[in-house]
């Protein structure tokens, strides 16, 4: 069996992959907790070296079995450090979270394929993001203007490292929560502008609660573009995402030019409807998963 993140499974033979010697194989796109496997015994992982390292840290596992196949090409996903997309047999492209505006961790580039399985977290037309580099400059400017500020993100791995990188590029000294510092240490990420006593603090959203109220609360997320819930209790919000916005998702599909598309994450059904209106043979991945039979998963992924 081959599973993709925690989403769905296919028989290895259907994908034309080498038999994984009685093991399951999981293709892991990146090390955000909603995409990481929970089982490691008899489960070999196909992922980038960095993703493997972070999974070992986050899940506290000492040994992870690797799976390699010449039929699987790992491509940068531009989402967070170590994130990948997978091209299988030059025909099927699977993406976990991806960003076509990735700045410091590669860029997700569309590639011609027959079947595209893609995330669509921001697959709704109201999500149009400003240019990432411009927002990065605005963030650096904001924290320099205020005496104390805490830059908050929803996860303590991924975007925090990106912000370290951005602040360094803008020559802004910063410090961070120990959870983030620990990731950086374990991954050998060293920043010249890291100053433990700095008044610019990088933190996961929940970890920021212990800081005194004098700190300006700055939240970075794509959700803030439309969802006012994310504006509560903060001083400043920036539309800064590790995902592609709606026009970029559509553009990605257009350039991959697939015969069929399966969507997952976010408004997968709605986004598939939008793609159908544009002439694509598109379906939410749920629909495919609903077709599971007693003899296994149906061969509906483009005749593999």
Sheet with 8-10: list strands edge to edge.
Answer: 8-10, 2-4, 24-27, 43-46, 65-66
CA atoms of 217 and 234, how far apart (whole Å): 5
CB 40 within 8 A of CB 59: yes
Q: Binding to Zn ion by residue 97, rule CB under 5 A?
A: yes
Please, what is the minimum distance in Å from the beta carbon of residue 267 to Zn ion? 14
Q: Binding to Zn ion by residue 243, rule CB under 5 A?
A: no
Distances (CA, A) of 125 to 55, 121, 159, 222, 248: 33, 12, 24, 13, 11
Span from 60-68, 89-97, 122-130, 168-176 in contact with Zn ion (CB under 5 A): 89-97
CA atoms of 223 and 230, how far apart (whole Å): 7
The number of residues that bind Zn ion (CB under 5 A) is: 3
Span from 31-39, 55-63, 110-118, 176-184 in contact with Zn ion (CB under 5 A): 31-39
Q: Binding to Zn ion by residue 264, rule CB under 5 A?
A: no
Closer residue to Zn ion (CB): 97 or 274? 97
Q: Binding to Zn ion by residue 274, rule CB under 5 A?
A: no
Span from 33-41, 122-130, 229-237, 283-291 in contact with Zn ion (CB under 5 A): 33-41
Closer residue to Zn ion (CB): 8 or 194? 8
Nearest to 283 by CA among 291, 292, 271: 271
Q: Binding to Zn ion by residue 260, rule CB under 5 A?
A: no
Closer residue to Zn ion (CB): 12 or 54? 54
Return the residue of 4, 32, 163, 238 that touches Zn ion, per CB under 5 A: 32
Alpha helices in the chain (DSSP H): 49-59, 132-145, 159-169, 178-186, 246-256, 268-277, 285-289
Structure tokens at 156: 């303590």
Please, what is the minimum distance in Å from the beta carbon of residue 94 to Zn ion? 14
Binding site for Zn ion (CB under 5 A): 32, 34, 97
């Amino acid at each position: 069996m081959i599973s993709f993140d925690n989403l769905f499974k296919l028989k290895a033979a259907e994908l034309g992959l080498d038999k994984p010697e009685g093991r399951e194989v999981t293709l892991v796109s990146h090390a955000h907790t909603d995409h990481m496997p929970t089982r490691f015994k008899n489960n070999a992982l196909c992922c980038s070296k960095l993703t493997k390292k972070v999974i070992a840290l986050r899940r506290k596992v000492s040994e992870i079995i690797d799976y390699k196949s010449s039929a699987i090409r790992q491509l940068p996903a531009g989402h967070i450090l170590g994130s990948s997309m997978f091209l299988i047999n030059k025909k099927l492209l699977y993406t976990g979270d991806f960003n076509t505006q990735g700045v410091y961790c590669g860029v997700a580039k569309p590639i011609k394929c027959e079947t595209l399985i893609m995330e669509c977290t921001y697959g709704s037309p109201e999500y149009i993001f400003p240019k990432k580099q411009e927002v990065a400059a605005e963030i650096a400017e904001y924290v320099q203007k205020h005496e104390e500020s805490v830059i908050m993100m929803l996860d303590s791995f991924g975007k925090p490292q990106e912000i370290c990188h951005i602040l360094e590029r803008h020559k802004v000294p910063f410090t961070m929560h120990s959870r983030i510092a620990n990731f950086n240490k374990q991954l050998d990420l060293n920043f010249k502008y890291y100053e433990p006593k700095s008044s610019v603090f990088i933190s996961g959203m929940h970890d920021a609660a212990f800081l005194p109220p004098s700190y300006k609360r700055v939240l970075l997320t794509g959700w803030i573009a439309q969802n006012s819930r994310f504006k509560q209790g903060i001083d400043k919000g920036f539309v800064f995402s590790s995902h592609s916005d709606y026009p970029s998702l559509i553009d990605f599909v257009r350039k991959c030019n697939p015969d069929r598309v399966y969507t997952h994450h976010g408004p997968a059904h709605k986004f598939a409807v939008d793609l159908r209106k544009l002439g694509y043979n598109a379906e939410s991945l749920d629909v495919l998963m609903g077709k599971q039979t007693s003899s296994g998963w149906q061969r509906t992924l483009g005749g593999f």
